[in-house]
Chains A and B, each alone.
Chain A
Amino acid sequence: MNLLTLTDVWVRYGRVPAVQGLSMHVDEGQLVGLVGNNGAGKTTTLSTVTGVLRPSAGTIEFEGKEIAGQAPDRILRHGLSLVPENRRIFARLSVRENLQIGTSGRKDRAKAKEDIEEMLGRFPVLERYHDQPGANLSGGEQQQLAIARALLARPRLLLLDEPTLGLAPLIVDQVFDLLEQLKSEGVTILLVEQNAARTVSIADRVYIMRTGGRIEFEGTGDELAARGGLETAYIGF
């Protein structure tokens, strides 16, 4: 079943079109990768889906309902949760408060409290520094916090924007392990990444985007390999 469907979406910064007629979809239970060069329009796409930007044309449907142009806090309540580029954790709030605020969109306060404790159990680093300000965490720890914060919204679809950017190789491995673990738990994921090879290796389907948000390739890792792999796709513009 299509969870998220974008149909002929256009996004402009002023008069400059950053995304031109993008169509893509994410099926329930899948991990979908969106890769492409810098400036291709990947972050713009996520910003538009989460309501930070308003598309100038096209439709964005989530579970069959049109969500394009709604406010970010409303879109979150539909079940889309974002792990943003550069993590953007709240540096002055404690680790625990960062997790608490992740439950802002939920009504089940008691269950949310339990989930916070469970999340602290799942990420021992967060448990250890739970009363420290978020600013005190290292980059990799902040990434865990950002993912935990997004998961506490109990999303139907988790969106991640470059979660391994600027992290040490060992930490990058941890992040990909975590993503695979989430996938095996049935979390639907749309992963935007620069690290195309790693993304292709764990994704059910990938989109390769080129400048202007145009889709160069769409399909499974095997289909990509049959077409000559990533290099051909990247060079074959």
Chain B
Amino acid sequence: MASRRPTSDSESRQEHTIQDVIQTAVDSISYGALYALMALSLALLFSVMGLMNFAYGELIMVGGYTMFILRDDSWVLLLVITIVVVTVISVLMERIAFRPLRDASPNTLLVASFAVSYGLQQLAYMTVGPIPKGVSPYPWLVESLDILGISVSRLSIITFVVTIALLIAVTAGLNRTMLGIQLRASTEDFDMARLVGVRANRVIVAAFAITGVLAGVVALCYVSRSGSVSPTLGQGPLLVAFVGGVIGGLGSLTGATIGGFLLGAAVTALQATLPTDLSSYTTLFAFSAVIAILVLRPSGLFARRAVREA
């Protein structure tokens, strides 16, 4: 008997480890995909109109507060209204803040995006206040799902499935529809696109609407996981997505998406695996790697030759 106890202990520990590894892997992939959606959004706006939209994080914050307000309503309503509200705010952002600056330099646009970002944060401070509001996810979401004897959180699986489905849908839309072709042409040479008859307002509003829908979905997944919303909620994920996009190359939609995925997955994995006393240095580790990559490949991992030569 005495000889069997340690064996079963180590077996159970091993099971526990496998369990952890798989949960961490699923988490990393699903949150990597979430950051990929954000990086894709940033890259789309950046390449269509030269706008690095730092106010994109505030769309997630707006989504979070919408969820907070609707926390007692049915989940269908919460899903639909959150996505609609975030999309409308995104389109309004274009109409009010960025359209008057359409021909301005990227620097002016960048400063404007900071202004919108801080403006929305301050609005949140003044109206709902600085204290984080709890948005407890539906109990069903946090339950674990048993897949082949391994339990994985349902939220991770849903995040993964939804983000991958959206990435596929956006890719298909960009490749198969006339609007998608116009958007891709605009990311390459906006002035030429206008010369062949692409309506500037139409593609730019479409870009803000598409990235708004994506921000709505990111808000739903992200806030369900974090469980609370505060005025600065969007800053963290925006930074990771932005830097991930830069690693991949913001001029290339595919590159930025992959960059966002890799950095998002790495950050999530580091948070889960680093020892407790080191886990606050997650960003330090991640961004050190980023600096190393940018020293070696300044225009991003996936920059096209033509872009680099230009």
Which residues of A line the B interface, CB within 8 A? 50, 52, 71-73, 76-77, 81-82, 84, 88, 90-93, 97, 100-106, 135, 149-150, 153
Other A-B pairs beyond A101-B198, A106-B197, 9, CB < 8 Å: A73-B194, A73-B197, A73-B198, A73-B200, A91-B188, A93-B184, A101-B196, A105-B197, A135-B306
User: In the complex the two chains form, what is the Cα distance from A149 to B189 in whole Å?
Assistant: 15
Residues in chain B near residue A135, CB distance under 8 A: 306
Which residues of B line the A interface, CB within 8 A? 178, 181-182, 184-185, 188-189, 191-200, 304, 306
Contact present for A93 and B188 (CB under 8 Å): yes
29 interchain pairs (CB within 8 A)? A50-B195, A52-B195, A71-B194, A72-B191, A72-B194, A72-B195, A73-B194, A73-B197, A73-B198, A73-B199, A76-B196, A76-B197, A77-B197, A82-B195, A84-B192, A88-B189, A91-B306, A92-B304, A93-B184, A93-B188, A97-B181, A97-B184, A97-B185, A100-B181, A104-B178, A104-B197, A104-B198, A106-B197, A135-B306
Q: Which residue of B178, B181, B195, B304 is within 8 Å of A84 (Cβ)?
A: B195
Contact present for A93 and B185 (CB under 8 Å): yes
Contact present for B195 and A90 (CB under 8 Å): no
Residues in chain B near residue A77, CB distance under 8 A: 197
Given A97-B181, A100-B181, A104-B182: A149 and B196 within 8 A (CB)?
yes
User: In the complex the two chains form, what is the Cα distance from A104 to B200 in whole Å?
Assistant: 12
Contact present for B184 and A92 (CB under 8 Å): yes
Q: Select from chain A the residue with minimum beta-carbon distance to B195.
A: A72
User: In the complex the two chains form, what is the Cα distance from A50 to B191 in whole Å?
Assistant: 11
Residues in chain B near residue A52, CB distance under 8 A: 191, 195
User: In the complex the two chains form, what is the Cα distance from A52 to B193 in whole Å?
Assistant: 12
Closest 4 CB pairs of A and B: A105-B197, A104-B197, A76-B197, A72-B194
Residues in chain A near residue B182, CB distance under 8 A: 101, 104
User: In the complex the two chains form, what is the Cα distance from A16 to B54 in whole Å?
Assistant: 37
User: In the complex the two chains form, what is the Cα distance from A96 to B298 in whole Å?
Assistant: 33
Residues in chain A near residue B197, CB distance under 8 A: 73, 76-77, 102-106, 153
User: In the complex the two chains form, what is the Cα distance from A102 to B198 in whole Å?
Assistant: 9
Contact present for B200 and A71 (CB under 8 Å): yes
Given A73-B194, A135-B306: A90 and B185 within 8 A (CB)?
yes
Cβ distance A143 to chain B, nearest Cβ, rounded Å: 15
Residues in chain A near residue B192, CB distance under 8 A: 84, 88, 90
Contact present for B181 and A153 (CB under 8 Å): no
Residues in chain B near residue A82, CB distance under 8 A: 195
User: In the complex the two chains form, what is the Cα distance from A149 to B181 in whole Å?
Assistant: 14
Residues in chain B near residue A84, CB distance under 8 A: 192, 195
Residues in chain B near residue A73, CB distance under 8 A: 194-195, 197-200
Residues in chain B near residue A92, CB distance under 8 A: 184, 188, 304
Q: Select from chain A the residue with minimum beta-carbon distance to B187.
A: A92
User: In the complex the two chains form, what is the Cα distance from A97 to B185 in whole Å?
Assistant: 9
Cβ distance B57 to chain A, nearest Cβ, rounded Å: 28
Residues in chain B near residue A100, CB distance under 8 A: 178, 181
Cβ distance B280 to chain A, nearest Cβ, rounded Å: 41
Cβ distance A133 to chain B, nearest Cβ, rounded Å: 10
Residues in chain A near residue B195, CB distance under 8 A: 50, 52, 72-73, 76, 82, 84
Residues in chain A near residue B189, CB distance under 8 A: 88, 90
Cβ distance B163 to chain A, nearest Cβ, rounded Å: 24
Cβ distance B90 to chain A, nearest Cβ, rounded Å: 23
Cβ distance A66 to chain B, nearest Cβ, rounded Å: 20
Residues in chain A near residue B304, CB distance under 8 A: 92
User: In the complex the two chains form, what is the Cα distance from A104 to B184 in whole Å?
Assistant: 13
User: In the complex the two chains form, what is the Cα distance from A76 to B196 in whole Å?
Assistant: 7
User: In the complex the two chains form, what is the Cα distance from A73 to B181 in whole Å?
Assistant: 16
Cβ distance B197 to chain A, nearest Cβ, rounded Å: 3
User: In the complex the two chains form, what is the Cα distance from A145 to B191 in whole Å?
Assistant: 18
Residues in chain B near residue A71, CB distance under 8 A: 194, 200
Given A73-B197, A76-B196, A149-B196: A101 and B185 within 8 A (CB)?
yes
Residues in chain A near residue B199, CB distance under 8 A: 73, 104
Residues in chain A near residue B178, CB distance under 8 A: 100, 104
Residues in chain B near residue A102, CB distance under 8 A: 196-197
Cβ distance B49 to chain A, nearest Cβ, rounded Å: 15
Most buried by B among A92, A93, A103: A92
Cβ distance A164 to chain B, nearest Cβ, rounded Å: 20
Given A73-B198, A91-B306: A101 and B193 within 8 A (CB)?
yes
Cβ distance B165 to chain A, nearest Cβ, rounded Å: 24
User: In the complex the two chains form, what is the Cα distance from A104 to B179 in whole Å?
Assistant: 9
Q: Select from chain B the residue with minimum beta-carbon distance to A98.
A: B185
Residues in chain B near residue A76, CB distance under 8 A: 195-197
Q: Select from chain B the residue with minimum beta-carbon distance to A75.
A: B195
